[in-house]
Structure 1
Amino acid sequence: MNNGKFLEACLNEGCLKQLANNISMASNLGAKRFELCSDLHLGGLTPSVNAIDCAVKNLTNSAELVVMIRPEAGNFFVSAECRNLMQKQITLAANAGAHGVVFGAIKHGELDLEVTRSLVATAKQHGLMVTYHRAFDTLTNSLSALDKLISLGVERILTAGTPWQSGQSAVDGLNQLNTYLAHSANQIEIVIGGGVTIENAEALWQLIKNHSYNAAVHVHSCVHNENGAINAEAINKLLSKD
């Protein structure tokens, strides 16, 4: 039972056998969505088609898989060449059975509207949901960007409510997250992630519950053991009753 909590777990591609076990275990325990990446030590890059296929085949309980579309590490500027590659990767993810894709594009501190629009269009052509990742936390005018992402048909935004690479967690961003949730008025799902732990997650669940917001909590390190395996006890604690 997830007690009305929508938990999204970020998984690294790694060993496919471990990935299969992680997806199967966590979805059986109540995780409802997985973000699949490669090279999480670089902030998360596009995973292989084999990894996407493996993850899809091991989903249970109607859990969803969203795939990171980020060909290169570094900042979130997307060149024309990179955009073309991202469009191809979106198509590959769709063909491998993904339910959605995760990407972001920034130009001079602002939402790159042209690139984002074209990538959203590619995703929609393949029936994929779109999450705009934590590039959102680098924006100089996040509320304006939030409105634009809603108008483009983006389904979700991943944010900590704190500046990117500030060292602060989502709990430090509670006030800003509340602003995003209220401003979006349930027109888009706010996926709260960044430094989430078993200990601080309750404050995030409470924020969501207080206003019946369209929102989820996104976790990574707190649900993995040192060897990269999903920690069942951690998932259970995150989804335990209030």
Structure 2
Amino acid sequence: MGILLEACVGCYKEAKKAELQGADRIELCDNLGEGGTTPSYGTIYLATQNINIPIAVIIRPRGGDFVYSNDEFEIMKKDIVICKELGVETVVFGILNKENKIDIERTKELIDLASGLKVTFHMAFDEIDDKFEALNQLISMNVDRVLTKGCKTCALDGKNTLKNLVEKSDNRITILVGGGVTYKNYKELLNYIGCNEMHGSKIVGTLK
């Protein structure tokens, strides 16, 4: 299997450019300076109409932590419904509880709501201390992939953990490696970690 390159983009223009530069999938966001928030309806719509590679949309109502209020959770649910209506391939989200563990109940609710779409659990995963317990929880919920840098800094620092996560996943979930991954270093990381998918805002070049 060849390597899949997912380009993280902050607007429609960047999404189009990433496709032209050879990205295999787009993660469509707004506000990348805050780690990415959900893009507008219009942005998602136009991307689904004019981009010919799979689109993943981040479901994140704000920057900051991943412990959400009831109202924020309702926003996330509505955004998933919109993504289903517009025909995206994947929704990307992560919800933690106050102990920085996966909020199992809410995560299951979003997964059920996203039925028919693929699900990526995003870098909220990197806030969790016991990543291997969390990995097994995501596998048990049939999550398709987890986006992670293996630590709180970057994939280069977390490469040993990432390698172990790939081994522990045993092809039951995809480890999508991100965090400082670029077109200049992804092959080196790929060879060490042994993953099949890589993610970054510069994974296929500079998008600005």
Q: Same fold by TM (over 0.5)?
A: yes
Task: Report the number of matched residues.
Answer: 207
What does residue range 147-226 of structure 1 map to in structure 2 within 5 Å? Answer: 147-163=136-152, 168-207=153-192, 209=194, 213=195, 215-221=196-202, 223-225=204-206
- Indicate the structure (1 or 2) with the bigger Cα radius of gyration: 1
Deviation at 1:222, TM superposition (A): 5.4
Give TM-score scaled by structure 2 length.
0.92
> Secondary structure of 1:169's match?
coil
CA deviation vs aligned residue, 1:190-237 (integer Å, no higher than 9, x gap): 00000112332122221355xxx5x30001045454xx44xxxxxxxx
2:100 corresponds to which residue? 109
- Judge conservation of contact 1:36–1:65 (CA < 8 Å) in 2: yes
- Judge conservation of contact 2:93–2:122 (CA < 8 Å) in 1: yes
| Alignment gaps of 5+ in structure 1 | 230-242
- Runs of 4+ in structure 1 displaced over 4 angstroms? none
- Judge conservation of contact 1:204–1:217 (CA < 8 Å) in 2: no
Percent sequence identity is: 37
How far apart in 1 are the matches of 2:29 and 2:145? Answer: 17
| Alignment gaps of 5+ in structure 2 | none
What does residue range 1-242 of structure 1 map to in structure 2 within 5 Å? Answer: 4-13=2-11, 16=12, 18-19=13-14, 21-26=16-21, 29=22, 31-60=23-52, 63-107=53-97, 108-124=99-115, 127-163=116-152, 168-207=153-192, 209=194, 213=195, 215-221=196-202, 223-225=204-206, 228-229=207-208
> Secondary structure of 1:94's match?
helix
Q: CA RMSD in A?
A: 1.8
